[in-house]
Amino acid sequence: MPIDIKSQSREELQARFQSWEQPVYRVTQLLEWLYVRRATSWDAMTNLPKTLRAQLAEAFSLQSLELVRKQGSRDITQKFLWKLADGALIESVLIPANPALYGEASDRHTLCVSTQVGCAYGCKFCASGLDGWKRNLTPHEIVEQVLATERWNETETKAARPSAGGAPAAAPETEAAESRLINNLVIMGMGEPLSNYDNLLPALRLLNAPWGGGIGARKITISTSGLVPQIRRLADEPEQFRLAISLHGATDEVRQRIMPVNRKYPLKELTAALEYYQEKKDRMITFEYILIAGVNDALEQTQPLGALARHLRAKVNLIPYNKVEGLTWQRPSEEVCEGFLAALEKQRIPATLRREKGGDIDAACGQLRLKTERELAPPLGTMAPA
Ligand code: SAH
Ligand code: SF4
């Protein structure tokens, strides 16, 4: 399979076009087809000469994600299940910034994207790791989650609009730019983004580029379970991406119980890497802390958590656990969650408690995929003999 065109940087495309003796402006035209108009076929690129289109088709693939399932309705959190070229399933979650006006294209949203099929890190509470790790996503599969979601939105918006009459139709390129939906990214879907570093960074650069996704680096948050060497590597990159750490435990004892990664990178090493990150970036770090009943929700845990947050000037994001089918972990009561928040606030730690919206549509990462794969799997005993 040839490399996908949406895995290529502008520089790579320029070099290729130069070797084909194509003028530079052709690259600009191509990029507009890919990232502004979100074309899904070479034939659609009508202002490129046919011979060039044929050359491109021979050198690159042009894949788009196929929507297989969607949960949630317009104006609330929506979850997309995509099928990749090899049949693997991944998820993205679209979160509105504020109550959207029906059919209003100017409303901006956050997209939560996946970086791997499955996850190798096996956190005990998480649906993404339940069936293990299958493969890394390529840069274009990461980028396509944004484009495919925007394509879907464009179709929906058009369908919702009253039929033409009155104002003349906008030129296609204005329309595509207007319908740009996503201005915020959280890399918190399926997979451990920093273990797919070499595909993640090119993808984020394509999404960040003004000629690409146009999403500001400060509006891109990478969430990690705490891969120490890659946190240091990220600190040395020029971009100002935001960093979120899935902490979920403020002592090695608690963290180890639910996150095997803590054996490899215990809190002392993680803390040192985060100190380095802050030194280089001077940016606020976020701690994600899922509240799981009887595991990490005791009030005394707010002491080490508060101390760590103060030391690293981190903000704490408390998330009541989202039940995963087949796992026995439970979300604490509302009072326990509110009490935990209050104890952090008493220490003057900036903290928020997510009062879940997506819980009812399996919004936590990996859950829709797991459910769909299990539904699609042939019942035991019906598999054809090998
Ligand atoms: N692997 C990365 C990013 C993906 S997970 C990481 O671990 O940070 C994104 C976030 O969802 C993490 O904070 C993860 O701990 C959290 N999460 C996983 N399962 C969850 C569940 N059932 N309920 C609530 N949050 C969950
Ligand atoms: Fe992987 Fe993150 Fe889930 Fe842990 S929480 S299993 S690192 S996706």
CATH of the domain at 260: 3.20.20.70
Alpha helices, DSSP H, located in 242-315: 252-258, 261-264, 267-281, 302-312
Q: Is residue 381 part of a domain?
A: no
Q: Is residue 167 part of a domain?
A: no
Q: Find the 225 Cα to ligand 2 centroid distance in Å.
A: 7
Instruction: Tell me: do 51 and 11 sit in the same domain.
Output: yes
Q: Find the 161 Cα to ligand 2 centroid distance in Å.
A: 40
Q: Tokens 């701690």 identify what position?
A: 287
- Contact call for residues 280 and 309 (beta carbons, < 8 A): no
- Tens digits of per-residue pLDDT, 353-362? 987 554 554 4
Q: What is the token pair recorded at 117?
A: 């099929």
Instruction: Tell me: do 191 and 260 sit in the same domain.
Output: yes
Instruction: Tell me: do 53 and 76 sit in the same domain.
Output: no
Instruction: Tell me: do 242 and 98 sit in the same domain.
Output: yes
CATH code for the domain of 28: 1.10.150.530
Taking each helix axis from N to C terminus, what angle separates 228-235 and 197-208, rounded to the nearest 10 degrees?
Answer: 30
Q: What is the token pair recorded at 375?
A: 């539904």
Instruction: Tell me: do 302 and 210 sit in the same domain.
Output: yes
Q: Tokens 């948050």 identify what position?
A: 221
Q: Which pTM was predicted?
A: 0.90
The gap between the terminal CA atoms of the chain, to the nearest Å, is 27
What single-letter DSSP state applies at residue 120? Answer: S
Residue with CA closest to ligand 1 atom 13: 246
Strand partners, 70: 80
Contacts of residue 346, Cβ cutoff 8 Å, sequence gap at least 6? none
Specify the pLDDT at position 282: 77
Cα–Cα distance, 38 to 176 (Å, whole number): 8
Specify the pLDDT at position 178: 54
- Residue 94, phi then psi, degrees to nearest 5: -105, 125
Q: Which residues line ligand 2 (CB under 6 A)?
A: 119, 121-123, 126, 128-129, 191-192, 225, 246, 365
Q: Find the 289 Cα to ligand 2 centroid distance in Å.
A: 13
Given its phi and psi angles, is residue 206 left (phi above 0), alpha (psi -120 to 50 degrees) or beta?
alpha
Cα 272-273-274 angle, rounded to 5 deg: 90
Q: Find the 193 Cα to ligand 2 centroid distance in Å.
A: 9
Distances in Å between the alpha carbon of 133 and those of 108, 129, 187, 218?
Answer: 32, 7, 17, 29
Specify the pLDDT at position 25: 97
- Contact call for residues 277 and 234 (beta carbons, < 8 A): yes
Q: Is residue 252 part of a domain?
A: yes
Q: Identify which of 225, 248, 324 to mutate to test ligand 2's pocket (most ligand atoms within 8 A of the CB).
A: 225
Q: Is residue 21 part of a domain?
A: yes
124, exposed or middle or buried, with CB in 10 Å at 0-12, 13-18, 19+?
middle
Structural domain total, the chain: 2
Q: Find the 242 Cα to ligand 2 centroid distance in Å.
A: 18
Specify the pLDDT at position 384: 37
Instruction: Tell me: do 238 and 332 sit in the same domain.
Output: yes
Among 31, 59, 87, the domain-final residue is 59
Q: Which residues are catalytic?
A: 91, 365
Mean pLDDT in each 10-residue stretch from start to end of the chain (386 residues)?
94 97 97 97 97 98 96 80 95 74 58 95 90 95 97 86 53 54 92 98 97 94 97 96 96 98 98 96 89 98 98 94 90 96 98 70 54 54 36
Instruction: Tell me: do 259 and 192 sit in the same domain.
Output: yes
- Tens digits of per-residue pLDDT, 112-139? 999 999 999 999 999 887 889 999 999 9
Q: Which residues line ligand 1 (CB under 6 A)?
A: 125-126, 188, 192, 223-225, 246, 288, 290, 319, 321-322, 324, 364-365
Q: What is the token pair recorded at 96?
A: 């509105």
Q: Tokens 């026995």 identify what position?
A: 328
Q: Which domain holds residue 12?
A: 5-59
Q: Is residue 89 part of a domain?
A: yes
Instruction: Tell me: do 121 and 55 sit in the same domain.
Output: no
Query: Which ligand has the shortest distance to the CA of 354?
Result: 1
DSSP characters over 324-371? -TT----PPPHHHHHHHHHHHHHTT--EEE---SGGGGT-STTHHHHH
Instruction: Tell me: do 90 and 34 sit in the same domain.
Output: no
Specify the pLDDT at position 95: 85
Instruction: Tell me: do 181 and 235 sit in the same domain.
Output: yes
Residue with CA closest to ligand 1 atom 7: 225
Cα–Cα distance, 172 to 33 (Å, whole number): 11
- Contact call for residues 305 and 324 (beta carbons, < 8 A): no
